[in-house]
Amino acid sequence: MNDAVPAPRLSVVVPAFNEQNRLGATLAEMSRYLRERGDSYEILVVDDASTDRTAEVAGGFSDSGVRVIRFPRNRGKGAAVRAGVLASAGEWILISDADLSAPIQELERLEARAADAHLVLGSRATGESRIGQRQSWARESMGRTFNLIIRSLGMTKIKDTQCGFKLLEGSAGRQLFEHMRVERFAFDVELVWLAQAFGHTVLEVGVAWNNSPRSTVDPLRDSARMFWDVLKLRFRRLPRRP
């Protein structure tokens, strides 16, 4: 008798840092939506060494499909997403921010294009994007400048690499993250860069999105880190194509 547990259809990876106040509501919304769909799923919360009760909130959630990975020290969003993806087992992997700036229901928009791509990026910069609450002027300026830099460096023609809502084919996603090295916010650029270098199809799909006013991103400090990470990435030797 084969007692192996079949892989879930969908793995949801949620990086989290000091999210005790909204993580419970996020997990409840995700769990409700995924149960109603009827597909098998798992939700992996990766706690990036939070100083609050983030891990306790996730660990105490009633859905048995929720798993928690906890870092002993803060490593960054890229490292958290990488750990979650590599621990996942799903046929498809959704990366979603803990604040649900892109509602979980927007998964359907990404899935509608999944047959055509290995990586489907939620985007705030296409004609079909629907932006509710906008970011601050400083955050929007940072995003436009960052995108201009990566485009001018020839890294990608994608309009919005940084939206925290992405759908990956499972085996391709785990393969890509085996080669990922960027541990902070520029990991999104590395993901797209590697996917294109390995010959995977990457599509950008507009989604509904509302800014979270409690973001922990620092426009000056994190912009500098992102620029440096992308510059190093531009001159990094590509890993051998699988």
SS3 per residue for the chain: CCCCCCCCCEEEEEEECCCHHHHHHHHHHHHHHHHHHCCCEEEEEEECCCCCCHHHHHHCCCCCCEEEEECCCCCCHHHHHHHHHHHCCCCEEEEECCCCCCCHHHHHHHHCCHHHCCEEEEECCCCCCEECCCCCHHHHHHHHHHHHHHHHCCCCCCCCCCCCEEEEEHHHHHHHHHCCCCCCCCHHHHHHHHHHHCCCCEEEEECEECCCCCCCCCHHHHHHHHHHHHHHHHCCCCCCCC
Please tell me the predicted confidence (pLDDT) of residue 25: 97
pLDDT tier, 137 (very low <50, low <70, confident <90, very high otherwise):
low
Q: Mean pLDDT lowest for which of 17-21, 145-149, 228-232?
A: 145-149
Give CATH superfamily name and number for 10-134+163-181+194-211.
Spore Coat Polysaccharide Biosynthesis Protein SpsA; Chain A (3.90.550.10)
pTM score of the predicted model? 0.89
pLDDT in tens, 5-26: 789 999 999 999 999 999 999 9
Mean pLDDT is highest, among 78-82, 139-143, 154-158, for 78-82
Residues 6 or more apart in contact with residue 37 via CB below 8 angstroms: none
CB 91 within 8 A of CB 170: yes
